[in-house]
Each structure stands twice: as structure tokens, then as C-alpha cells.
């Protein structure tokens, strides 16, 4: 088996119009790396939605 990769994709959709308001992704080489990338993704999401 090859190297593992972990991915998280986020898409925020305006349910009234069906349009994508925000889209982002995080990926990591392992669970710890993904955790670090998720913190960065959450910060970007919070900045856009706040």
C-alpha cells in the first residue's frame, strides 16, 4: 500500500440560492499534520464568515 493522505473539503452553500458561498480544503500526510491544517482551515473559514 502506498503512502496515506488525509483530506477534508468544506463547502458552504447558500440554501436559498444554491450558490457556493465558500469552498476550501485541507490535506495532511498523517493525522497530526491534518490536525494542524484543520486549525488553519478553521481560521480561514472564521475570517470569511465573521
pLDDT tens-digit series, residues 27-38? 999 999 999 999
- Residue 2 reports pLDDT greater than 80: no
Q: What distance in Å separates the CA atoms of residue 45 and residue 14, rounded to the nearest whole number?
A: 15
Q: Which helix (H) or strand (E) holds 3?
A: none
* Residue with cell string 469552498: 23
Q: Which helix (H) or strand (E) holds 26?
A: strand 19-28
Q: What per-residue confidence (pLDDT) applies to 49?
A: 80
pLDDT tens-digit series, residues 3-31? 889 999 999 999 999 999 999 999 999 99
Q: What per-residue confidence (pLDDT) applies to 25?
A: 97
Amino acid at each position: 500500500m502506498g503512502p496515506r493522505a488525509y483530506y477534508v473539503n468544506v463547502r458552504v452553500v447558500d440554501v436559498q440560492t444554491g450558490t457556493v458561498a465558500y469552498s476550501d480544503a485541507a490535506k495532511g500526510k498523517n493525522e497530526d499534520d491534518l490536525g494542524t491544517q484543520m486549525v488553519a482551515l478553521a481560521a480561514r473559514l472564521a475570517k470569511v464568515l465573521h
